[in-house]
Chains A and B, each alone.
Chain A
């Protein structure tokens, strides 16, 4: 069965970096795009962008350029989200979600807390 398993919660200080992983199983990794979605505490879902798992080409939504980087390691069917120069407002749950149009499978989410 399709599964997306994300790395565990992170507590970081402002200015630090974090790398969240999303390991896929149960399907051919390169057959579907991978998206990243942010959910700040008590807020709705916000699409961050997606990465083409065939070419590795990322597309970032407005507001997620510069400090956010999507990457892949297709040898282990894993997508990564790296956030640099962390700010308090980056505190959120980050989800990966597979898409072939809509978002049919989601990771369990990774809570990133940024606090001094």
Chain B
């Protein structure tokens, strides 16, 4: 059971928009930056969003991130079949000593 809660799966049609939620607490999301990672099948994870809402160079603006309180959201617009992947949120948790936590991951299916 992960400290950060994500829905196991989401789905939408090509061209549509989807959001993926990541719920935590004051010891993690509430007081730290959130990042998001995309893991295409059979590949290593890739940084998609950092510092809650910033995109690394090369990440299209179809991908966006936001944070409110102890929850964060990843948004993807103009869905493409190539977006089918597992998505993970992550942040530091400072409840006892600083350690990193990932959400359980969300499988995105583009129908």
Judged by a CB distance under 8 angstroms, whether B63 is at the interface is no
Write out, one digit per residue, whether chain B residues 72-111 have a CB within 8 A of any chain A CB (1) or not (0). Answer: 0000000000000010101000000001111111000000
Q: Which of B43, B47, B56, B103 has the most CB of A within 10 A?
A: B47
Question: What is the count of residue pairs linking A and B with beta-carbon distances less than 8 angstroms?
Answer: 57
Within 8 A of B (CB), among A50-83: 50, 59, 61-62
Q: Hey, which chain A residues are within 8 Å of B33, CB to CB?
A: 101-102
Tell me whether B51 and A44 are in contact (CB under 8 A).
Answer: no
Judged by a CB distance under 8 angstroms, whether B21 is at the interface is no
Total contacting residues, chain B, CB less than 8 A: 23
Tell me whether B44 and A108 are in contact (CB under 8 A).
Answer: yes
Judged by a CB distance under 8 angstroms, whether B14 is at the interface is no
Tell me whether A45 and B88 are in contact (CB under 8 A).
Answer: yes
Task: Please report the C-alpha to C-alpha distance between residue A107 and residue B44 in the assembled complex, in whole angstroms.
Answer: 7
Judged by a CB distance under 8 angstroms, whether B46 is at the interface is yes
| Distance to closest chain A CB from B40 (angstroms) | 12
Total contacting residues, chain A, CB less than 8 A: 22
The secondary structure that dominates the A interface is strand
Judged by a CB distance under 8 angstroms, whether B2 is at the interface is yes
Q: Hey, which chain A residues are within 8 Å of B88, CB to CB?
A: 44-45
Task: Please report the C-alpha to C-alpha distance between residue A62 and residue B95 in the assembled complex, in whole angstroms.
Answer: 13
A-B contact list, 10 entries, CB within 8 Å: A45-B37, A45-B45, A45-B90, A61-B99, A101-B51, A102-B90, A103-B47, A103-B90, A105-B47, A108-B43
Residues of chain B at the chain A interface (Cβ within 8 Å): 2, 33, 35, 37, 39, 43-47, 50-51, 56, 86, 88, 90, 99-105
